[in-house]
């Protein structure tokens, strides 16, 4: 079984809808991250969490919110989706600062 | 500001060749550098992690080197195979927060095609 899983893997939604992307990990890592990837822009950090009580904004957090339900679960929400949030979204984990990051398989989100 | 550049953006070589992918970064104050592989529309697979105190790491046919003082890393792939076709990304983990966040800074990637 994969160490970092994401659901759903693909999602098509309409402008204005609320949507949640979920991430679970079995690696026992404290740190979890949400990135988005756009063609030509590389990966950008949306939010990150160093433990259940510590959540921090990344470089592109506007329009997104997160919830760290447990050490193993980190969810990303789009409160009111817009077309320019169409992208590939990745969850990642690490065991500590400066340590290797492990990525999930990604969620392809399309906002019409 | 930390910036990561990968050259070339795309590379096509015949099967069996040895090849080198390049990564450069502007600030040598890093924890580590990580090389990833990404298949089209898929997730990132970590290939090698080099700590700032290390010069190189090897995994199978892959060898990554790090010259922190010059801000360069290379990924060497020996005896390339069609299955090596993918986009290869390098990322550095700066010592200091970037835009207020502890984050990896990624290059744009090199799209590698190995022709049978």
Q: Do B109 and A33 touch (CB under 8 A)?
A: no
In sequence order, the β-bridge partners of residue A53 are none
Cβ count within 10 A of residue A27: 13
Q: Do A45 and B36 touch (CB under 8 A)?
A: no
CA distance B60 to chain A (A): 19
Altogether, the residues listed in chain B come to a count of 116
Decide if pLDDT at A91 tops 90.
yes
pLDDT of residue B15: 97
The per-residue pLDDT for range A11-66, each reduced to its tens digit, is 999 999 999 999 999 999 999 999 999 987 788 999 999 889 999 999 899 999 99
Reported confidence tier of residue B106, pLDDT bands at 50, 70, 90: very high
Q: Do A45 and B93 touch (CB under 8 A)?
A: no
Q: Which of A32-41, B70-79, B82-91 has the lowest mean pLDDT?
A: A32-41
By the CB < 8 Å criterion, does B28 face chain A? no
CA distance B11 to chain A (A): 17
pLDDT of residue A98: 73
Q: B103 or B73, which is more confident?
A: B73
Please give the span between the terminal C-alpha atoms of chain A, in angstroms, as a whole number: 33
Decide if pLDDT at B99 tops 70.
no
CA distance B107 to chain A (A): 7
By the CB < 8 Å criterion, does A45 face chain B? yes
What chain A residue is nearest to B42 in terms of C-alpha separation?
A105
Angle in degrees, CA A26, A30, A32, rounded to 5: 80
Residues of B in contact with A60 (CB under 8 A): none
- Sheet strands (E) in chain A: 4-7, 10-13, 19-25, 31-38, 42-51, 54-57, 64-70, 73-78, 87-94, 102-103, 107-111
Q: Which of A16-30, A76-90, B35-49 has the lowest mean pLDDT?
A: B35-49
């Amino acid at each position: 079984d994969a160490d970092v899983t994401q659901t759903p893997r693909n999602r098509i939604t309409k402008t204005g809808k609320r949507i949640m992307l979920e991430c679970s990990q079995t690696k026992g890592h404290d740190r979890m991250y949400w990135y988005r990837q756009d063609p030509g822009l590389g990966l950008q950090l949306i939010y990150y969490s160093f433990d259940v009580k510590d959540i921090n904004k990344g470089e592109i957090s506007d329009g997104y919110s997160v919830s760290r339900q447990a050490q193993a679960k980190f969810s990303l929400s789009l409160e009111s989706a817009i077309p320019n949030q169409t992208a590939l979204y990745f969850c990642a984990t690490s065991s500590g600062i400066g340590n290797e990051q492990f990525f999930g398989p990604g969620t392809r989100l399309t906002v019409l | 500001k930390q910036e990561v550049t990968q050259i070339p953006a795309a590379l096509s070589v015949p099967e069996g060749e040895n090849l080198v992918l390049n990564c450069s970064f502007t600030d040598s104050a890093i924890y580590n550098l990580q090389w990833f592989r990404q298949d089209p529309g898929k997730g990132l697979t970590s290939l090698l992690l080099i700590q700032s105190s290390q010069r190189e790491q090897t995994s199978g046919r892959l060898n990554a080197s790090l010259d922190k003082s010059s801000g360069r890393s290379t990924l060497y792939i020996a005896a390339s195979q069609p299955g090596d076709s993918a986009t290869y990304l390098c990322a550095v983990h700066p010592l200091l927060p970037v835009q207020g966040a502890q984050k990896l800074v990624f290059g744009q990637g090199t799209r590698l095609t190995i022709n049978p």
